[in-house]
Structure 1
Amino acid sequence: MSTAYCDLRCLRGHFLYLYLGLLLLLIPGEAYEKLSEDTLKALPRPSQDFDIHTGALFSPILQPRVPGTPGHTAVLEHFATFFRTTLPEWQIDFQNSTSKTPVSHGKDVPFVNFIAYRDPPGTAKGDVGRLTLVAHYDSKLEPEGFIGAIDSAAPCAMIMHAMRSIDSALDKKWAAMEAEGMDLLDEHHGIQVLFLDGEEAFKEWTSTDSLYGARSLAEHWETQMNPAMSTFKTPLSSISLFVLLDLLGAKSPNIQSYYPTTHWAYQSLGALEKRLRSLGHLKSTSTDPWFIDTSKDSHQVMAFGGIQDDHLPFLARGVEILHLIDFAPFKGFPSVWHTADDDAEHLDMDTVKDWSVLMTAFAAEWMELDGFLDHGDKVRREEDLDESEAIRLNKKTEL
């Protein structure tokens, strides 16, 4: 993660796109259907498998994950195992690339992007637009032994929890649609997870020493064509909203809104935080709302700024971006950023778990799952995970 901001050369190409897109996004924002109070109360909170030492979901990510190292491979295997065993209806893919780095002495370093998605049954993937939740999973080379708990092990775990929490509600929704005689081919909402590789610079943040996986995937998806007559020409154009989570897990985060075309979605997250907190479903203590720009309208959101991160190669190709990163005006990033203190012990676990619930709520609202996620859902609360499930989640499998 770099503190540098996009320069005008990066943003001139986006200016017209942003403001034309603003007009188009006013309608989705107004039509956005809110989750009921009962559904919000039903959202499961993380518990045992978020334990930083023994938790089956979270603890395997909390290790150094430098590309090309055993720890990196182990975490990638953990993602694959989680989706294959816990979310078997999801499709899994890997996008591979190699690149030389400033410290690789002329040798190619492998980078692997992890992709998982779920579309309505019977639909062709070129006909489905996907909410896309994104985090990078690699960690910095230095300082030695760097864990990167907020950067970005915790965001990966938050996304995994959210997907597990809504999965059976997707089953219920789509089964109900079929029972009512509705054609699932008309259901154009899918969901996708990207765990991107190589976000961190190996030496010093530059346009070439950073974002290795994001640059490769965005370029690949821009040129990969879906079948003729598909609704979406490329996998890139099928991204309905690219939601990037980064540097999350410290107490009392400050989340700004960076793009006017997605400000309505930012405001929806702010509204969900407020509602969940009023219901007592968020446990962290925070004197101020996390989403500090909710009172602004889209015209007040500056389109010229934006912290350099994995979204940039996608933004440059016209993808709608919602960037969720903890960055406080006049204070900057969390104090542990890029230091040895960015480890599990310095996480605020109530905040980590609250983010997990909030992202579950956002995904459920986007996928129109109100009424399909209840206390009788087959998604069990994590405090009820039994030993056999923990063993299965921790088991390593070949990619």
Structure 2
Amino acid sequence: MRAAFCQISDLDDIKSELIGIRRHLHQHPELSYQEADTSALVAARLEGWGYAVTRHIGGNGVVATLRAGSSTRSIGLRADMDALPIHEMTGLAYASRHQGKMHACGHDGHTAMLLGAALQLSRTRQFDGIVNLIFQPAEEAGFNSGAVQMLQDGLFERFPCDAIFGMHNHPGVATGVFMFRSGPFMAACDTVKIDIIGKGSHAARPQLSIDPLVTASSLVMALQTLVSRNIDPMDAAVVTVGALHAGHAANVIPEHATMELSVRSFKPEVRALLEKRIRALVQSHAAGYGAKAEIEYLCGYPVLVNADAETEFARQVALELVGAEKIIAPFDPIAGSEDFAYFLQQRPGCFLRIGNGAGKPMLHNARYDFNDDNVSLGAAYWTRLVERYLQVP
């Protein structure tokens, strides 16, 4: 039996193999709900390493289970697998071979890190209990995502987990730095689609119209007061109008204008208040111009809330592995959203971040690339986390 928990150097002999897997995944990205080849590659590797593998959980999801010792304690680790509909512009030798698709969020790296941990755990089995490795599809979907589908497929009933952990890379922070925060960490994100219905006319006769473009333009400005005049200044929230479309010609006042909003918040009560105020403001504002409004309010991912005890445990594991100089805790809340939040509604756990490099392209950018230095580091971290959580008596 090994005398110590996993160190980064323990994975030196498989580092190049893990980077090779990561770059292969990068070359062959698959969008949400389409991860068939990625899922098959993951399952085949895990089966080869001695895991009990269950495929097609929530679509293309894979769960791999490994048992050691006699304990019934269990832990879940999750990686996401899907890519984004972005045309890659990195110029890398291993750039995407699929036009208009790329791993612009690092899910190729997340998958490789967890596969690395799977390989190391299968080699050492330095734990007492049950490990469930969850490879999730469709994180980028926004609605009815892979996490939701896996839960609907009985994820935690079929593969019990006393706690669950996930990790995401974070460009803008030095490579290998770990970031933690207890409580609300990532925002809820809702999308609002608004159709302003007016009355079209010739541009030379505006008095005969009910101009939906003027109505929508005024509404854009009115929406900016929702956070500043309705939300407590101590609470964070964002209302962004990301799209406004109306008309096709300079000399025609159109019948319709359409808008799309992104609404983000960190508390359920703030989320509910924003929906109430948006609905009321849109309807009254449109009526004030003589127009009508139809609203489609799509509730996306909930607030991601990390459990205190599991977050402190995850931070302690990082402290042991890399030292205090490579830990930021507490890290600031992140206005982005993440469907790992659904898992944390069902089980205690922690979602943490790992730096992808200062000055590197941001996520969802055509020039983004996952930092290969994190592949073996992340694998070592996951391995040590399992060893510590399911510590051998």
Q: Sort the TM-score into its range (normalised by shorter chain).
A: 0.5 to 0.7
2:160 aligned with 1:251: no
Q: Deviations over 1:181-218 (max 9, x none)?
A: xxxxxx6x2001111111113xxx4xx3xx52211111
Aligned to 1:58, the other structure's residue is in SS state: helix
Residues 248, 132 of structure 1: CA spacing in aligned structure 2 closer, same or farther, 3 A cutoff? Answer: farther
Q: Which residue number corresponds to residue 365 of structure 2? A: 339
Number of residue pairs the alignment of both structures matches: 255
Q: Which residue number corresponds to residue 141 of structure 1? A: 85
Aligned to 2:119, the other structure's residue is in SS state: helix
Residues 361, 137 of structure 1: CA spacing in aligned structure 2 closer, same or farther, 3 A cutoff? Answer: same
Q: Which residue number corresponds to residue 17 of structure 1? A: none
Residues 190, 37 of structure 1: CA spacing in aligned structure 2 closer, same or farther, 3 A cutoff? Answer: closer
Looking at secondary structure, tell me which structure has more strand per residue: 2
Aligned match for 1:92, one of 53, 69, 77: 53
How far apart, in 2, do the equivalents of 1:342 and 1:261 lie?
27
How far apart, in 2, do the equivalents of 1:146 and 1:288 lie?
37
Residues 66, 290 of structure 1: CA spacing in aligned structure 2 closer, same or farther, 3 A cutoff? Answer: same
How far apart, in 2, do the equivalents of 1:141 and 1:134 lie?
22
Contact 2:182 2:330 in 1 (8 A): no
How far apart, in 1, do the equivalents of 2:24 and 2:8 lie?
29
CA-CA distance at 1:81 after TM superposition? 1.4
Q: Which residue number corresponds to residue 203 of structure 2? A: none
Residues 216, 308 of structure 1: CA spacing in aligned structure 2 closer, same or farther, 3 A cutoff? Answer: same
Q: Which residue number corresponds to residue 198 of structure 1? A: 138
Give the residue type in structure 1 aligned to 2:352: L
CA-CA distance at 1:254 after TM superposition? 5.6
Aligned to 1:315, the other structure's residue is in SS state: helix
Q: Which residue number corresponds to residue 390 of structure 2? A: 367
Q: Which residue number corresponds to residue 392 of structure 1? A: none
2:156 aligned with 1:239: no
Q: Which residue number corresponds to residue 43 of structure 1? A: 10
CA-CA distance at 1:36 after TM superposition? 6.3
Give the residue type in structure 2 aligned to 1:349: D
Contact 1:95 1:112 in 2 (8 A): yes
CA-CA distance at 1:323 after TM superposition? 0.7
Q: Percent identity between the aligned chains?
A: 11
Normalised by the length of structure 2, the TM-score is 0.55
CA-CA distance at 1:246 after TM superposition? 2.3
2:374 aligned with 1:356: no
How far apart, in 2, do the equivalents of 1:267 and 1:138 lie?
29
How far apart, in 2, do the equivalents of 1:258 and 1:264 lie?
9
CA-CA distance at 1:163 after TM superposition? 1.7
Unaligned runs of 5+ in 1: 1-34, 98-110, 174-186, 225-233, 279-286, 295-300, 371-399
Q: Which residue number corresponds to residue 289 of structure 1? A: 326
Aligned to 1:43, the other structure's residue is in SS state: helix
Aligned to 2:163, the other structure's residue is in SS state: strand
Contact 2:163 2:347 in 1 (8 A): yes
2:22 aligned with 1:66: no
Normalised by the length of structure 1, the TM-score is 0.54
2:76 aligned with 1:132: yes
Q: Which residue number corresponds to residue 159 of structure 1? A: 114
Give the residue type in structure 1 aligned to 2:150: L
Aligned to 2:11, the other structure's residue is in SS state: coil
2:318 aligned with 1:310: no
Contact 1:162 1:363 in 2 (8 A): no
CA-CA distance at 1:149 after TM superposition? 5.8
How far apart, in 1, do the equivalents of 2:30 and 2:75 lie?
26
Q: Deviations over 1:4-49 (max 9, x none)?
A: xxxxxxxxxxxxxxxxxxxxxxxxxxxxxxx965754773234221
Contact 2:86 2:102 in 1 (8 A): no
Residues 145, 118 of structure 1: CA spacing in aligned structure 2 closer, same or farther, 3 A cutoff? Answer: same
Q: Which residue number corresponds to residue 292 of structure 2? A: none
CA-CA distance at 1:306 after TM superposition? 8.2
Give the residue type in structure 2 aligned to 1:157: A
Residues 221, 47 of structure 1: CA spacing in aligned structure 2 closer, same or farther, 3 A cutoff? Answer: same
Give the residue type in structure 2 aligned to 1:351: N
Aligned match for 1:218, one of 133, 151, 156: 151
CA-CA distance at 1:263 after TM superposition? 3.0
How far apart, in 1, do the equivalents of 2:322 and 2:315 lie?
11
How far apart, in 2, do the equivalents of 1:268 and 1:247 lie?
19
Residues 152, 60 of structure 1: CA spacing in aligned structure 2 closer, same or farther, 3 A cutoff? Answer: same
Give the residue type in structure 1 aligned to 2:23: S
Residues 78, 369 of structure 1: CA spacing in aligned structure 2 closer, same or farther, 3 A cutoff? Answer: farther
How far apart, in 1, do the equivalents of 2:178 and 2:124 lie?
31
Give the residue type in structure 2 aligned to 1:255: M
Larger radius of gyration: 2
Contact 1:265 1:322 in 2 (8 A): yes
CA-CA distance at 1:80 after TM superposition? 1.5
Contact 2:32 2:140 in 1 (8 A): no
How far apart, in 1, do the equivalents of 2:153 and 2:364 lie?
30
Aligned to 1:338, the other structure's residue is in SS state: coil
Contact 1:131 1:240 in 2 (8 A): yes
Residues 39, 141 of structure 1: CA spacing in aligned structure 2 closer, same or farther, 3 A cutoff? Answer: closer
